[in-house]
Amino acid sequence: TGCGDDDGKERDAWARRLCDRVGPQVKKIQQANAAIAKASEGEKSSKEVKETDSAAFGDISAAYAALAEAVRQAGEPPVDDGAKLHRDAVRELRSISASYRKLKETVDGLDTEDQGDFAKGLKKVAERLEKLGQSGDRALNTLQSGELGQAMAKQKGCQSPGASKGER
C-alpha cells in the first residue's frame, strides 16, 4: 500500500478537471441536435433547413474539438492503461469534430433550388450523422467505464441532464 489511490481521490480530481469542461460542450451538442431535429420536422424551406443544419454542424464540430481539448488538458487518468485511454479518447473526439466539419461543408454545398437533389443530399447527410452519433457515444463511454466512470458520474458536469428524468 502507500503507492495506490485506494480511496479514489486522484480519479475524483481527474474527473472534476474534465467534467467541469464537459458539461457546457455536451449542452451545445444537445442544443444543436435539437435545432437539426426541429428544422427537419416543420414546414421549413430548404434554405432554412440548410442554414440551420450548417450552423448546428459547425457548433457540434466546435464542441467535439473542445471536448478533445478538455480531455487532453485533464491529462492521463490515474487508471490502468490511462495513457492509452487518454490518447484514444482525444484522437476519437478530434476525428468526430473533423467529421462534423465535413458534414457542415457537405450541407453548405447542397443546392436548395432543386428539391430532389437537396432531399437526396440531406438523406446522405442523415446516414452519416447516425453513424457519427454512435462513434461520439463510444468515445465518451470508453472514458466513463469502470472506476473512472464512477468518479465521473459523481461530477455535475458529466451527469446527463436527461438521465434524471428517465430519458436515454
Cell of 76: 492521463
Q: Helices (DSSP H) in the chain: which residue ranges? A: 9-41, 46-74, 82-108, 115-143, 146-153
pLDDT at 55: 97
Which tens digits make up the pLDDT trace of 31-42?
998 999 888 887
Cell of 81: 492503461
Cell of 95: 476525428
pLDDT at 108: 96
pLDDT at 168: 30
- Give the predicted TM-score (pTM) of the model: 0.85
pLDDT at 164: 37
CB 103, CB 57: distance < 8 Å: yes
**Which helix (DSSP H) or strand (DSSP E) does residue 106 occupy?**
helix 82-108
Task: Give every residue of the chain whose pLDDT is below 70, as ranges.
Answer: 1-7, 134-137, 139, 160-168
pLDDT at 158: 82
pLDDT at 143: 78
- Cα 132 from Cα 40, distance rounded (Å): 18
